[in-house]
Amino acid sequence: MTLQDAINDYWTDRAPSYDAYQQRPERRDLDVDVWGRVWSSALPAAPADVLDVGTGRGHVACLLAGLGHRVTGIDLADGMLEIAREHAARLPDPPTFRRGDAVAPDLPPASYDAVVGRYVMWTLRDPATAVAGWRRVLRPGGVVAMVDSTWFTEGLGSLYGDRPDATLPLADARSIEEAAQVLREGGLREVTVTPLHEVLELDRAHGVAPGHDVQLQWLLTGLG
Q: What are phi and psi of 114, to 5 degrees?
A: -155, 145
Give residue-wise pLDDT tens across range 64-122: 999 999 999 999 999 999 999 999 999 999 999 999 999 999 999 999 999 999 999 99
Q: Give the C-alpha separation, 50 to 95, whole Å.
A: 10
Q: What are the structural domains of the chain?
A: 3-223 (3.40.50.150)
Give residue-wise pLDDT tens across range 113-156: 999 999 999 999 999 999 999 999 999 999 999 999 999 888 77
HSE, CB side, 13 Å, CA atoms: give it for residue 7. 20
CA 112 to chain CA centroid, nearest Å: 16
